[in-house]
A = this chain, B = another copy of it.
């Protein structure tokens, strides 16, 4: 008569059905508003009202304004992650780690540029714990590929963080919005080439 121990410690409990529905509803509405009016018209009040829900609900779901954008990105990241875990090489498995690493960086920066508005809005200086899980994906994947390369490096975790930062931060923090908007294509090209060269240099035996 012991209960099925599925909530295996740590998964406190499955999300309630109405909660799931509301989250979907909120994310969908957020995307609509984003498409129609841009990032800064997306206020918590407006979102709640348009989704026909209370403001409290919005906050319980996402915690903070930046949290909404983090959730949106996580959502988009799922399909991106598919391409990495089971898509065709060199992005997916099958190619040599070095090629995958280069391909990953190029795909990732394209992704970040494509979602630049959301991605930047997800950065929140006030939260003590930095941003969201955004970079976890990159850090883990880059870390894994680095491990496969068996480089002679003392602290692979630190290297993974540094490379992740080199890949993502220019688009999050350092390139001016103007550069990204006016000439996204050129920026993407330079970034892609730069990444390739950086990785080649770092990973030389």
Chain A residues near B (Cβ < 8 Å): 40, 66, 120-126, 128-131, 135, 139, 153-155, 158-159, 161-170, 172-178, 190-191, 193-195, 197-198, 201-202, 204
Q: Which residues of B contact A193 (CB under 8 A)?
A: 154-155, 158
The interface residues of chain A, by DSSP majority, are classed as helix
A40–B126 Cα gap in the complex (Å)? 8
Given A121-B125, A128-B177, A158-B193, 7 new contacts (CB under 8 A): A135-B174, A153-B197, A162-B167, A165-B168, A165-B169, A173-B173, A201-B204
- Copies of this chain, count: 2
**A135→B173 contact, CB < 8 A:** yes
Q: How far is the CB of A41 from chain B (nearest CB, A)?
A: 12
A103–B52 Cα gap in the complex (Å)? 56
A139–B120 Cα gap in the complex (Å)? 20
A135-B173, A169-B169, A176-B130 known; A155+B125 contact, CB < 8 A: no
A158-B194, A162-B198, A170-B165 known; A177+B129 contact, CB < 8 A: yes
